[in-house]
Structure 1
């Protein structure tokens, strides 16, 4: 599901469904009730005049039906155009920095403008199709007097009705046309309501993760992947992976980009359901555990950490909401946060900003590590936690990681092999398979793929602009 559709579904559509259910239906019912009472009174007064006053209803209802038909034929296309416009707006705003840096303001704006105009043109065309019928029923329904007054006058002259009945029915008829018109206007929104509810139900009916409401009953913190296969839609990315993480050990996973390393880490924390095989923690299949029980056992630190727009203190507190302030400060200290927190105006109570943008990327990662330290889970998953940060921050991150992994079962996804040379076991991944697993020294001797990765990592470490090797 794209960003545009998500935004439209959970903001626009839900808000409109609430408006229709909370306001359109009650108001529509009250208008119909008012019209029904007026019609009953009209028939009690004079059934002939009552029929005359209602003769415009069939024409108006026919026009309304034709408008519904014309509108429904293009309803799906209309919402697809709306979702595309929303996606373009979100992409344009999120990519503003890249657009500015590469001088693509005009080009990007033209694409943005094109989708906006496309949505506008589609909407105008839709209204052009529906408008004639809308105008017809809007004009006819309120005009009950066009037929009733002249014909009713003749009936009074001929003695078939009385002037009092004519005046009474005329006054009552004024309470019929406008309420029915309002009710039909609300009825015109019901096709949209049905569409929006269907879309929301599709999202809500998405297949949930396979879990059970069981607590952790395992007998250790050993993690096993047993012949695990996984596919994104139709493309299989893991092909029968088997791996064991010994309790209290540090296991590293290395490989080229796209080999399936991060996918394996996300499967361990049950972001997705595997297609076949089994992942166990302490001998217990993770799908036999509740999400809460699994989360209590595992801390996951990814390469891109998100901070909420609240204080840094509250962001760290997410690791353990029951922790005291002293425990939060201790976790921040262990995560090497003290130095930069002291520079902030409000210290640990400083607002993180939208997405944590009030602090640097390296500082965001240290806050995330503090969160993991506070959680104190027995299994730690570090998915390239030191990626894309400067040497100073990397040094502090490594010190924080050394603190967090003491006595834990640790699973590290590494992009720089130098950071995991002391791991108890290094697993080499290629094309969705683990092709070797051993210590650093043994892999250098026995695994050509690892040797290639190591040489590449060494070359990157010594590279500078102009190909001048650092001293």
Structure 2
């Protein structure tokens, strides 16, 4: 446990240890006043002379100890919080680095809800353990141990009597800890499910309203929240009786010391001054014992929570090196590539060659593996088998940064940050001038709608680009690709948000984005790719046919069937046009 904490403490390791020492001294100063009280009570009971000055000195000692206790406790907690937040910072940086090394596809699979909980909620929950449980728990354990050692040095019989409450309190605590440990993983799992459900409910509220699914969506929302509530209350209810036992029994250190200790004194087995000293010190450790036992069950959670966070990222990192791209040309080659998603084979025996400057289309029904090949090419995943090379250089034999310099990837749902349209386009080339950004926006047919905004290109796009339509966001994504000017462009359903009015504008934007470049396009609309240099027909993860449009019509039944369906769809749209000539479909 301590190694796990110190591993992330880094340069704050000494501060973490020092905070524990300072709090230990603070707890010790909480015990010392009882020794001063003993120094006053002993001569009074023994009939010895005692001066007013002596009593004053003892009272002053009590006051000084209490003041120093408060100061050191505050100082120790300040140091422990400082160290704790720096440990959390280092933990978040570690998780971020692990996240960056994971395949992008795996990151998307985890979902925003799970990642948000991990980076924010789960990491924050460790703060209390690091800032309080660790330094206070150890300090409040160490002092009672030192006091009991001292008591045994004074009178072992009385010391044993003062420890009579410990076995019952410890037994109750162990039972409570066993119950808590048994269900700890399920407790966190229920919280994770609830968190993901809440985020999904909020993000999907528009769809829920449009399709009148409030009841179904709310039922799941309510079910997961109630499940978390019931599980948490059930866990607490199982622990509460045992908590009550040790909270009431542990501080009762005089339960046997006073009656039996008095009898020992009367029988001559123990001395009266020793009984007084043991009683005073026994009273002094009641509060530290309670604090210690309230923190001890939390200490293993530090190791559990840090390990749980590490395990969430415990996946095979993306295979890459720090090498630049040094391939011979830009010919792309898939050699016997296979890939599985959640143990389901989604691409197999993929052999494909895309020559430099070619326009290549991947077509097929939904789920046939088209987008999977695009994501493999931009290295969102590593293939399970085979190799993907550019200019003869394996993708796994170059850095991801080097790959992204030669490939622009535009999918159907490009994310826009909550900043200006200008800054969102500039992401394509951070070193670009304002004039270059505006030029890229013009080529992508963006200025037509940008000029309508009062702030023009400096208009905020909103979180996720919510202030813009799907077609407008797509054109901004194409502007990024134009500005980036990579020699290879991958368009994954780039026309997905195109309505009849914007379709021509998007086609012009795409023409600018791919001018003089190698183009790989994934599309459902076969009419838009019929003039491609090469078309690969995907079916159930396999290449069912490859060739030009005319060749596939003649030689590939699957493509011919898909083409006929596309023609029928186009005819349907034509026949549903209104009297004014506008489409109603």
TM-score bracket, normalised by the shorter chain, equals over 0.9
Residue number in structure 2 paired with 1:468: 576
Q: Which residue of 2 aligns with 1:300?
A: 409
Which residue of structure 1 aligns with residue 104 of structure 2?
Answer: none
Q: Which of the pair has more CA radius of gyration?
A: 2
- Does 2:159 match 1:50? yes
1:428 to 2:526 alignment: no
Partner of 1:105: 214
Q: CA deviation at 1:255?
A: 1.2
Cα distance in 2 for partners of 1:250, 1:2 equals 34
Q: Kindly provide the CA deviation profile for residues 124-169 of structure 1, in whole angstroms up to 9, marking residues without a partner as x.
A: 2222222221111111111112222333334455555555544443
Which deviates more from structure 2 when the two are superposed, residues 226-235 or residues 433-442? 433-442
Q: In the aligned structure 1, how far is the partner of 2:409 from the partner of 2:178? A: 52
> Which of 422, 436, 448 matches 1:327?
436
TM-score by length of 2: 0.75
Worse-superposed segment, 169-178 or 203-212 = 169-178
Larger RCO: Structure 1 or Structure 2 (Cα < 8 Å, ≥ 6 residues apart)? Answer: 1
| Residue correspondence of structure 1 range 387-406 to structure 2 within 5 A | 387-406=496-515
Q: Name the counterpart of 1:244.
A: 353
Cα distance per residue 1:39-86 (max 9 Å; x no partner): 344445544433322221122111111111122222233233222222
* Residue aligned with 2:451, SS: helix
Residue matched to 1:169 = 278
Contact 2:420 2:458 in 1 (8 A): yes
Moved more, 190-199 or 355-364: 190-199
Number of residue pairs aligned between Structure 1 and Structure 2: 470
CA distance 1:433–1:149, change in 2 (3 Å): same
SS of the residue 2:498 aligns to:
coil
Which whole-Å CA distance do the structure 2 matches of 1:19 and 1:217 have between them? Answer: 50
| Equivalent position to 1:193, from 294, 302, 312 | 302
Distance of 1:315 and 1:439 partners within structure 2: 37
Equivalent residue, structure 2, for 1:260? 369
1:65 aligned onto 2:177: no
Distance in 2 (alpha carbons) for counterparts of 1:303 and 1:287: 26
1:120 is aligned to 229
CA-CA distance at 1:330 after TM superposition: 2.1
2:417 partner SS: coil
In structure 2, C-alpha distance between the alignment counterparts of 1:66 and 1:256, rounded to whole Å: 58
Name the CA distance, whole Å, in 2 between partners of 1:315 and 1:150: 79
Larger mean Cα displacement after TM superposition, 179-188 or 159-168: 159-168
2-structure distance, mates of 1:452, 1:86: 45
1:238: how far off? 1.3
Alignment of 1:226-375 (within 5 A): 226-375=335-484
Distance 1:145 1:352 in 2: 70
- Structure 2 residue runs of 5 or longer lacking an equivalent are 1-108
Determine which structure has the larger helix proportion and give its number.
2
Distance in 2 separating the partners of 1:423 and 1:222: 16
- The match for 1:89 is 198
**Offset of residue 320 of structure 1:** 1.9
Other-structure match for 1:178 = 287
| Partner secondary structure for residue 305 of structure 1 | coil
Q: Deviations over 1:363-385 (max 9, x none)?
A: 11111111112221111100010
Out of 175-184 and 157-166, give the one that drifted further: 157-166
SS at the partner of 2:334? strand
Give the CA deviation at 1:189.
Answer: 1.8
Whether the aligned pair in 1 keeps the contact of 2:339 and 2:346 (CA below 8 Å) is: yes
Secondary structure at 1:146 match in 2: coil
Do the aligned partners of residues 239 and 50 (structure 1) sit closer, same or farther apart at CA in structure 2, a change above 3 Å counting? same
The offset of 1:119, in angstroms, is: 1.9
Where does residue 240 of structure 2 map in the other structure?
131
The separation in 2 between residues aligned to 1:174 and 1:460, in whole angstroms, is: 87
Paired residue secondary structure (1:74): helix
Superposition deviation, residue 102 in structure 1: 2.5
SS in 2 for 1:145: coil
Secondary structure of the structure 2 residue equivalent to 1:182:
helix
> How much does 1:423 deviate?
1.8
Deviation at 1:223, TM superposition (A): 0.6
Asked if 2 retains the 8 angstrom alpha-carbon contact of 1:425 and 1:437, the reply is yes
Unmatched 5+ stretches in structure 1? none
State which of 25, 33, 43 in structure 1 corresponds to 2:134: 25
CA distance in 2, matches of 1:322, 1:165: 80
8 A Cα contact 2:498 2:506, kept in partner: no
